[in-house]
Amino acid sequence: MTINERGPDGDRSYAAVADRLHMPLVEAMETQRAVRRVLPDPVDDDIVLRCIELALRAPTGSNSQSWEFIVVRDADVRAAFGEQYRGAWTQYRAAMAGREPTAGMTKVTAAVQWQVDHFEEIPVLVVPCLGPDAIGRGAPGPDEPPIRASSFYGSIYPSVQNLLLAARAFGLGASLITLPLWSRSTAQRILGLPADVTPVCIVPMGWPRGRYGPTTRRPVGDVVHHDHYGNH
């Protein structure tokens, strides 16, 4: 079944697509990619909740499980994040203006631009957040060592990967984005989050407009170093 095919009689309910979770793990990992162009068609709540349920099976720092997942369907909330996305994307494009784009980057930029332009049409956003108990004392401050930030955000990113793999198996298009959260305080206000709950990323989800295709990655021999950097 291709990713844009439906279940019997055009059904995309959880019952109709649940068996897709039996996709072999290797197939899901080898065909996973950021799918940004999605249809405005609704996504069954049970599908979203099952993806999050599988996300919760991931390891987390100190087993704190200090995570929260905000499922956004409200049009006003999506519009507020869409405005933040457009502003941050404009600044990002300006900062990158002097660089010569590669063919691959041009393709990615076009996909992101589509997502920015159609953000309010995406049927569901999942916002993973970390609470104050993550790694003992909440989000890192600007003067703390980088490894502290790595430890903090590393407490939830394995679960985000589980979420993305589950979406891939179901046939949903999904991607991990952070630009709409450029201002943490604004994102907290939009979602009504307490000051000590940090939104980490947004995963827009919807039924894809196209198909999953093969991913292009650097050969493993180019990125693996033996004992010291440069010793391939």
Task: For 129-154, write each residue's pLDDT tens digit.
Answer: 998 876 656 677 778 888 888 888 88
- Is residue 20 domain-resident? no
The answer to whether residues 207 and 171 touch, using CB atoms and an 8 Å cutoff, is yes
- Is residue 22 domain-resident? no
- Is residue 7 domain-resident? no
Paired tokens of 188: 């907290």
Q: Which of 45, 64, 61 is CA-nearest to residue 152?
A: 61
What percentage of the chain has pLDDT greater than the value 70?
94
- Is residue 175 domain-resident? yes
Burial environment of residue 7 by CB neighbours within 10 A (0 to 12, 13 to 18, 19 or more): middle
Does 8 have pLDDT greater than 50?
no
CATH code at 136?
3.40.109.10
Does 229 have pLDDT greater than 60?
yes
The mean pLDDT of 113-124, rounded to a whole number, is: 98
Instruction: Please list, in sequence order, all residues whose beta carbon lies within 8 angstroms of the beta carbon of residue 13, skipping any fewer than 6 positions away.
Output: 7, 44, 46
- Is residue 221 domain-resident? no
Higher pLDDT, 57 or 213: 57
Range of the domain at 76: 32-95+104-210
User: Strand, helix or coil at 50?
Assistant: helix
- Is residue 59 domain-resident? yes
Instruction: Please list, in sequence order, all residues whose beta carbon lies within 8 angstroms of the beta carbon of residue 111, skipping any fewer than 6 positions away.
Output: 34, 36, 37
Domains held by the chain: number: 1
Instruction: Report residue 28's pLDDT band, with 50, 70 and 90 as the boundaries.
Output: very high
The mean pLDDT of 27-43, rounded to a whole number, is: 95
pLDDT tens track for 75-115: 999 999 999 999 999 999 998 888 887 877 888 999 999 99
- Is residue 18 domain-resident? no
Whole-number Å distance between alpha carbons of 186 and 91: 17
- Is residue 232 domain-resident? no
Q: What is the pTM of this model?
A: 0.91
Q: Which of 29-38, 64-73, 98-107, 176-185 has the lowest mean pLDDT?
A: 98-107
Instruction: Report residue 33's pLDDT band, with 50, 70 and 90 as the boundaries.
Output: very high
Burial environment of residue 139 by CB neighbours within 10 A (0 to 12, 13 to 18, 19 or more): buried
Amino acid at 212: Y
